[in-house]
């Protein structure tokens, strides 16, 4: 059983398509079909059912898939371990980040990294944090810099780098804007009482998706108070959320750095809500020298910030 056939098998299983698997592997479709046929003759059974245009794993295919993934993971790990011996920092670094971190936290770090290590091919993926976790778990990503999950995972090493304070915010002309916190630079002072969470729930809000780590963190605060969030619209992109909030589609919770002159921060009677941001790698994976250098740079950036 050769690794090329296993690679083709895993790609077809993932994409459920011979043509998409061929694109992913930079091969022709007949070459992928040939590798699958070779593998099927080696194991003595069909691995895929071809139902019209649909491709589905047979029972044997389902048994082989986790084993094939494990074998390919081990082979890749061995390659990395051997490449690391040279001490060279090169090759490909497959890194995922969320759109928000990619826009607001990583640019100076990535610029410095590419200047220091020009031989590294940076394969950057913009993904929702939940997808990035799955990518690191199944080995398609070497590391991710994302919003961290509320619960630890035994197969992942997760390191917090930053904490985002989430601000209750709305447009400057929203009915709730009279409850804005006083802004030092505007010299506007308000004597309005702080809003309760239940008072907020009388107005529509725009929020991150309920299944996102940030969305579930926010929902938890309201659930604990016995309240249901009046969500009128959702999006997983915080930049889009900010736009929706600034045009008056509802109040929202956004990272402190995103609250600008189009928005006001509301004075709400509840403890601050923070979300942890950081990086994650697989505990059983040999990290490439390129990934180690990236981690060193992320750690150094955190230490510099703490020292300031």
Nearest CA to 200 among 228, 158, 223, 181? 228
Q: Please report the pLDDT score of residue 186 as a whole number.
A: 44
Distance CA 233, CA 19 (A): 36
State yes or no: pLDDT of 29 exceeds 70. yes
Q: What's the confidence (pLDDT) of residue 187? A: 45
Highest-pLDDT range among 118-122, 151-155, 240-244, 303-307? 240-244
Convert the pLDDT of each residue in 182-223 to its tens digit: 764 444 444 467 899 999 999 999 999 988 999 999 999 999
pLDDT at residue 266 in the model: 95
**Average pLDDT for residues 77-90, to the nearest whole number?**
66
C-alpha to C-alpha distance for 250 and 204, rounded to whole angstroms: 5
Note the pLDDT of residue 306.
62
pLDDT (0 to 100) of residue 109 = 93
Q: In degrees, to the nearest 5, what angle opens at C-alpha 133 toward C-alphas 131 and 138?
A: 95
User: 18: closest CA among 2, 33, 40, 1?
Assistant: 33
Q: Does residue 163 surpass a pLDDT of 50?
A: yes
Q: Name the pLDDT band for 305 (thresholds 50, 70, 90).
A: low
Q: Which residues contact 208 (CB under 8 A, 6 or more apart)?
A: 214, 215, 218, 234, 235, 236, 238, 241
Query: Which pLDDT does position 251 carry in this prediction?
Result: 96
**Contacts for 141 with CB less than 8 Å, ≥ 6 apart:** 94, 95, 96, 125, 132, 135
Phi, psi of 24 (to 5 degrees): -60, -40
Strand partners, 206: 233
Evaluate if residue 246 carries a pLDDT over 70: yes
39 within 8 A of 47, measured Cβ to Cβ: yes
Range with lowest mean pLDDT among 116-125, 131-140, 178-187, 264-273 = 178-187
With 60 as the cut, is the pLDDT of residue 275 above it?
Answer: yes
Please give the span between the terminal C-alpha atoms of the chain, in angstroms, as a whole number.
56
Provide, rounded to the nearest whole percent, the portion of the chain with pLDDT above 90.
Answer: 50
Band of pLDDT at residue 229, cut at 50, 70 and 90: very high
Q: Which helix (H) or strand (E) holds 156?
A: strand 156-171
């Amino acid at each position: 059983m050769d690794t090329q056939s296993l690679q083709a098998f895993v790609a077809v299983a993932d994409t459920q398509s011979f043509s998409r698997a061929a694109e992913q592997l930079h091969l022709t479709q007949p070459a992928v079909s040939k590798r699958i046929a070779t593998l099927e003759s080696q194991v003595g059974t069909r691995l895929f059912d071809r139902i019209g245009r649909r491709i589905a794993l047979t029972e044997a295919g389902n048994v082989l898939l986790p084993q094939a993934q494990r074998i390919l993971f081990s082979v890749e790990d061995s390659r990395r371990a051997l490449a690391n011996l040279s001490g060279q920092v090169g090759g490909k670094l497959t890194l995922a980040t969320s759109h928000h971190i990619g826009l607001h936290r990583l640019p100076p770090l990535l610029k410095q990294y590419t200047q220091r290590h020009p031989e590294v091919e940076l394969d950057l993926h913009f993904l929702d944090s939940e997808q990035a976790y799955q990518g690191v778990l199944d080995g398609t990503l070497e590391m991710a810099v994302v919003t961290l999950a509320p619960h630890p995972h035994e197969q992942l090493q997760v390191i917090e780098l930053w904490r985002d304070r989430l601000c209750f915010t709305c447009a400057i002309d929203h009915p709730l804007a009279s409850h804005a916190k006083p802004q030092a630079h505007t010299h506007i002072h308000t004597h309005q009482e702080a809003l309760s969470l239940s008072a907020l729930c009388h107005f529509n809000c725009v929020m991150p998706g309920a299944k996102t780590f940030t969305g579930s963190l926010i929902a938890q605060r309201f659930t604990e108070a016995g309240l249901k969030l009046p969500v009128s619209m959702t999006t997983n992109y915080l930049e889009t959320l900010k736009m929706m909030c600034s045009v008056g589609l509802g109040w929202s919770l956004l990272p402190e750095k995103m609250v600008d002159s189009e928005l006001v921060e509301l004075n709400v009677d509840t403890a601050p809500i923070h979300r942890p941001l950081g990086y994650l790698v697989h505990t059983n994976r040999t990290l490439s020298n390129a990934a180690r250098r990236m981690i060193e740079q992320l750690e150094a950036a955190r230490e510099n910030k703490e020292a300031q």
